[in-house]
Structure 1
Amino acid sequence: MTRKPQQRGLGRGLSALIGDDSAPAEAEKAGGGAAVQTAPIEMIRANPDQPRRDFREEDLAELAASIREKGVIQPLVVRTDPKKEGGWQIVAGERRWRAAQRAQLHELPIVVRELSDDEALEVAIIENIQRADLNPVEEALGYRQLMDKFGHTQEKLAEAMGKSRSHIANALRLLTLPESVVEHLRAGRLSAGHARALITSPDPAALAEQVIARGLSVRQTEALARAQKVEANTPKKPKKPEKDADTRALEADLAAATGVKVAIEHRNDGAGEVRLRYGSLEELDSICSILSR
Structure 2
Amino acid sequence: MSKRGLPSGVKMRHDSHYVEEFAKSANRSVGRIIPINQIEPNPEQPRVEIGDLSELANSIKQKGVLEPLLVKPNGDGTWMIIAGERRWRASNLAGLREVPCIELDIDEKSIAEIALIENLQRKDLNVWEEADGLASLSSRFGYTHEQIAKKIGKSRTTVTESFAISGLPDAIREKCRQANINAKSTLLEIARQFDEKAMHGFLDNIKSQELKNRQQIR
Q: TM-score scaled to structure 1, two decimals? A: 0.57
* CA RMSD in angstroms, aligned pairs only: 3.0
Question: What is the count of residue pairs matched by the alignment?
Answer: 192
* Residue 195 of structure 1: aligned partner: 187
CA distance in 1: counterparts of 2:203 and 2:21, whole angstroms? 42
Q: Provide the rounded CA distance (Å) in 2 between the counterparts of 1:31 and 1:199.
A: 39
Matches within 5 A, 1:107-126: 107-126=98-117
Match of 1:15 in 2: 20
| Offset at residue 180 of structure 1 (A) | 3.7
1:1-293 alignment, distance < 5 Å? 14-18=19-23, 34-57=29-52, 60-82=53-75, 85-183=76-174, 189-190=180-181, 191-201=183-193, 202-212=197-207, 214-215=209-210
Q: Matched residues in 1 for 2:69 and 2:112: separation? A: 15
Going from structure 1 to structure 2, the CA distance change for 1:56 and 1:162 (only over 3 Å counts) comes to same
Q: Deviations over 1:125-152 (max 9, x none)?
A: 3333333421111111111111122222
SS at match of 1:74: coil
- Between the aligned partners of 1:34 and 1:126, the Cα distance in structure 2 is 19
What percent of counterpart residues are identical?
Answer: 33
2: CA distance between counterparts of 1:180 and 1:174?
A: 13
Q: CA 1:69–1:187 in 2, change beyond 3 Å: closer, same or farther?
A: farther
Aligned counterparts of 2:54 and 2:31: Cα–Cα separation in 1: 26
Q: Which residue of 1 aligns with 2:3?
A: none
Rg: which structure is higher? 1
Q: 1:167 to 1:113 in 2, by over 3 A?
A: same
Superposed structure 1 runs of 4+ greater than 6 Å apart: 30-33
The one-letter code matched in structure 2 to 1:196 is L
Q: Is the 8 A contact 2:134 2:159 kept in 1?
A: yes
Query: TM-score with structure 2 length normalisation?
Result: 0.75
Quote the Cα distance in structure 2 between the aligned partners of 1:150 and 1:14: 21
TM superposition shift of 1:167: 0.6
Unaligned runs of 5+ in 2: 1-16, 214-218
